[in-house]
Amino acid sequence: MFTGIVNRTGVIVSIQKKKKIHRHKVKLPPILSKMLTLGASIAYNGCCLTINNIDHFYIECDIVEETLNKTNLGFLNIGDRVNIERSVKYGDEIGGHIISGHIMNTVEVSKILESDDNYEMWFKIKNLSLMKYIFYKGFICIDGISLTVGKIINNEFCVHLIPETLLSTTIKNKQNGSLMNIEIDSYTQIIVDTTERLFKQTF
């Protein structure tokens, strides 16, 4: 499990591509390498991956076909930075919200509004069936970042970004058309799906 509070960013140093699987080698900041073990889970742009090799500050993770189809990981290149979060331990502070690292789909950056005291980013959802889970002031996880939904218009929604988020994650480098991973809050999914099922049974 994760919280959506990105610890640091890592840099992709190599990519091995096979037909149905990619292997990424990423350089981590030293602080994220401490006590890291083989088989540990790590959030990589919000996607839960398993570490299968560790060499000092470098880790390797395999990205399988399903993940390549559902996320933006297949579009990454050598030199790109990715948001990294170590998994939560019992007793850790939950600063964001509970995240599984199971990406549902991608969203497209549709508009960025920037002023002296505000940074507003709009996203267009590709899979319209997910819109029923998007609520004003609801939790949303984008590329591993725990965010709050600001406004909703048709199949688009926005978030407001604070300077710390812009400084410590990769989101400041995104442009119109960029694809980002999305994970809906699991509790929201359960409530919406249960309500729908009960409504259908009643009527």
Q: Which residues contact 172 (CB under 8 A, 6 or more apart)?
A: 166
Other Cβ atoms within 10 Å of 149 Cβ, number: 18
User: What would the pLDDT profile of 185-195 be if each residue is shown by its tens digit?
Assistant: 888 888 998 98
For the chain, give every domain's residue range. Answer: 8-86, 105-202
Place of tokens 């812009």: 166
pTM comes to 0.92
Q: Evaluate whether the domain defined by 8-86 bears CATH number 2.40.30.20.
A: yes
Q: Which residues contact 180 (CB under 8 A, 6 or more apart)?
A: 45, 72, 106, 107, 108, 109, 123, 142, 143, 171, 174
**CATH classification (class only), 105-202:** mainly beta
User: What would the pLDDT profile of 116-174 be if each residue is shown by its tens digit?
Assistant: 878 999 999 988 999 999 999 999 999 999 999 999 999 999 999 999 999 999 999 99
**Cα(25)–Cα(17) distance, integer angstroms:** 12
Identical fold for domains 8-86 and 105-202, yes or no, is yes
Q: Which of 174, 44, 17, 202 is nearest to 108 (CA)?
A: 174
